[in-house]
Chain A
Amino acid sequence: MSSSATTLEESAPGGSASGDPLLVVKDLKVHFPTGDGIVKAVDGLSYTVERGKTLGIVGESGSGKSVSSSAIMGLFHGTNAQLSGQIILDGTDVLTLSEDQMRKLRGRDVAMIFQDPLSALHPYFTVGAQIIEAYRVHADVSKKVARRRAIELLDRVGIPQPDRRVDDYPHQFSGGMRQRAMIAMGLVNDPSMLIADEPTTALDVTVQAQILDLLQDLQKEFNSAIIIITHDLGVVAEMTDDTLVMYGGRAVEYGKTSEILTHPEMPYTWGLLSSVPEVTGDTSAKLIPIPGSPPSLLNPPSGCHFHPRCAFRDKVPGDLCRTTTPELAPGNRGSTHLKRCHLADPEAIYQTEVLPEIAPDLVEQLGEKSGS
């Protein structure tokens, strides 16, 4: 696998010279055959994540964020989903593993923190029993030892009186506590790869911040790699090293988070940024929603999937957006910033047309700086 990894590293922003990345996803496709045709939930996705690093996957509902992560967990075994490509986790292509081999990795080497912990935790078993179970699947320990481990982890994720709360049922926990318990369950086997699927959705802002802090602390402690699936760009800015923007089952922009957030090159990313309110921002700043609705994965639009909703397709010569699918390729900002867009100079359009609309004060500041 080392040879394939090195070739990937050249083009992938997640890769660097220091050792093999923990996770390499290469041309992943997840297709669901249905009575009406094939739903291409994920259609050719590639990325890498290194140990101790965090990747943020952003996109709206139905863009393939969660499906691609479920594929890493091998959760499509025994379903009619058609998977192709490679998912190389720590040197092993998990797509070639049998269900039983995959089962042994699940929860031990790669764990997932699901969104909406109220429905993701079993209502009829105590929180402790569920964590203990997760531990004992992979560790050959007595119930007593496992229980101590569960209490220790509940304490670690900040549940007060963990020795008593361990016997509570999920419905007796608050939303934030349930999410913490979910994280404790994910971490119980010290996985090297942690996938957090919208870990802060449906939590209030202060709890969100606590959960994110917790994840960051735990990452430092365990040196695990994290994928955060979210549609919250605030989470992306705070937590991640790399960002992958997904649209209609494909990556449309991929690069270092600092780079993507300051110099986005794809109109869909602009749309996402335009939809984020800024607490300290100018009240004259506009929140601009992306027009239209997410594309059908059954009959995706021709050419660039985003073209029906794109306000800038007129700036592309000819009918290119409608007829030709752009490649995910480096734009004008170096080889580590990939974008899937036909626009020749997106940076100029962003600075002159998008930024003044969504952050006029920022433009003013920049103007003053250059003026003085």
Chain B
Amino acid sequence: MFAYTIRRVISGLLLMVVMSMVTFVLFYASSDHPERYACGPKCTSDQLETTRKALGFDQPLAEQWAKFARGFVVGRDFPDNAELRAAEPDQVIHCAPGCLGLSYTYNKTVNNLLKDKLPVSISLALAAYVLWITGGVVFGVTAALFKGRLIDRSIVGLALLGFAFPTFFIGLLLLKFVAIKWQIVKLPVYTPITESPWLWASGLILPAITLALVYMAGYIRMTRAFVLETMTEDYIRTARAKGLTQRKVVGKHTLRATLTPLVTLSGLDLAGLLGGTIIAEKVFNFNGVGKMSVDAIARHDLALVVGIVLLIAAIVIIANIIVDLLYAVIDPRVRLG
């Protein structure tokens, strides 16, 4: 298992190297004079040239990537050009190892920006995850147990509805009625968990529900299908033949088998959600990674976009490794190697 983990981590790192190359080519090579956006509309050609050098766009793409990679490992200083740094030493920004580049719209390192925003997105994704897994499994199992009956039809029908409504619509609906009109909850505001866990949780309720509904709808249907499939397995018949109560047959034997695919899928979905909280962040005005990435794209802040893309890629890769390792823990038949 240890050797397997090492192997997976190494292949994950290689994948990240390739990912960074691909994103570099995609964003920088496809963009025509990216320094224009950094410099602004009233830029003289001299200023433009300086900006070009400061951001390192004067060098070949391969060189730019090499600097990025070196910066990630040992850290780097901005502006990129050594002469410019020597000219104005007090303007130099140091980027510590793990450097993801310099955002030229904020004139801050990408890392510094992400450090503030990432907790917001992670909180949102985790809260949504807890909601959708709980709801998905509870409603999914209930629907399966009452297959074909009114309860089942209602749950499946509502799930379809949850699937059909766009996230922003549900978000606005919740905001308008639950928070503003009926004032059941306070207007959602993000509070760091370190300040007040209670405010942190209560502020997350509405955005988390908004995010969770779509996933929950999918997981209800998936859980229902898994449970129904598992119930036809021979070992469920064995469990019943032992004289176990229906509650034990479902709650222990069926759920245990259903858990395996659910854990796998939900782990990957959670990783995907970390980069997909954009709409909920926009609707509820949470300053997370999603909102920042949309703004970065709108302002052509390529360094920030590349940084966010790579971060999300890394999260997905790490989640994949964790899910695979977890798989060996929950399924005794799986042997890693």
Residue ranges of A at the interface with B (Cβ–Cβ < 8 Å) = 70, 73, 75, 78, 99, 103-108, 111-112, 114, 116, 119-125, 130, 133-134, 137-138, 169, 171, 185
Contact = CB atoms under 8 A, between A and B. Distances in A.
28 contacts: A70-B237, A75-B240, A75-B241, A78-B246, A103-B244, A104-B243, A106-B241, A107-B243, A112-B241, A114-B237, A114-B241, A119-B233, A120-B237, A121-B238, A122-B235, A122-B239, A123-B332, A123-B333, A124-B256, A124-B331, A125-B256, A130-B238, A133-B244, A134-B242, A134-B243, A137-B244, A169-B333, A171-B332
Which residue among B242, B246, B256, B260 has the maximum number of chain A CB atoms within 10 Å of its CB?
B242
B238 A120 contact: yes
Given A107-B243, A134-B242, A116 B333 contact: no
A171 B333 contact: yes
Interface in B241-257: 241-246, 253, 256-257
A65 to B, nearest CB: 15
Contacts of B88: none
B176 to A, nearest CB: 45
B234 interface: yes
B243 A119 contact: no
Contacts of B235: 119-123
B239 to A, nearest CB: 7
Interface centre among B234, B253, B256 (most CB of A within 10 A): B234
Given A122-B257, A124-B257, A114 B332 contact: no
Interface string B220-245: 00000000000001110111111111
Contacts of A105: 243
B228 to A, nearest CB: 13
Given A75-B240, A123-B333, A134-B242, 6 more contacts: A105-B243, A119-B233, A120-B234, A122-B239, A124-B256, A124-B331
A105 B331 CA distance: 32
A171 B332 CA distance: 9
Contacts of B243: 103-108, 134, 137-138
Given A124-B331, A169-B332, A169-B333, A106 B234 contact: no
Main secondary structure of the interface of B (DSSP, over half): helix
Closest 5 pairs (CB-CB, A-B) = A107-B243, A106-B243, A119-B234, A122-B235, A107-B242
B257 A123 contact: yes
A120 B235 CA distance: 4
Contacts, number: 70
Contact count band on B: 20 to 34
Contacts of B260: 124
A122 B256 contact: yes
A75 B242 CA distance: 11
A250 to B, nearest CB: 24
Contacts of A103: 243-245
Interface string B299-334: 000000000000000000000000000000011110
Nearest to A104: B243
Contacts of B333: 123, 169, 171
A86 B193 CA distance: 66
A195 to B, nearest CB: 9
A106 B333 CA distance: 29
B133 to A, nearest CB: 19
The CB with the most chain A CB atoms within 10 A, among B237, B243, B332, is that of B243
Contacts of B332: 123-124, 169, 171
Contacts of A78: 246
A75 B257 CA distance: 21
A121 B243 CA distance: 15
Contacts of B238: 114, 120-122, 130, 185
Nearest to B239: A122
Interface string B271-293: 00000000000000000000000
Given A133-B244, A169-B332, A75 B237 contact: yes
B241 A73 contact: yes
A113 to B, nearest CB: 9
Name the residue among B241, B244, B332 with the largest chain A CB count within 10 angstroms.
B241
Contacts of B239: 122
Nearest to A112: B241
Contacts of B240: 75, 106
A80 B239 CA distance: 20
Nearest to A80: B148
A130 B244 CA distance: 11
A104 B332 CA distance: 31
Contacts of B257: 122-124
A124 B259 CA distance: 11
A122 B240 CA distance: 12
Contacts of B331: 123-124
Contacts of A120: 234-235, 237-238
Contacts of B244: 103, 133, 137
A75 to B, nearest CB: 6
Contacts of A107: 241-243
Contacts of A111: 241
A105 B242 CA distance: 9
B236 to A, nearest CB: 8
Contact of B242 (A99, A106, A171): A106
Contacts of A133: 242, 244
B293 to A, nearest CB: 40
A51 B239 CA distance: 26
Nearest to B240: A75
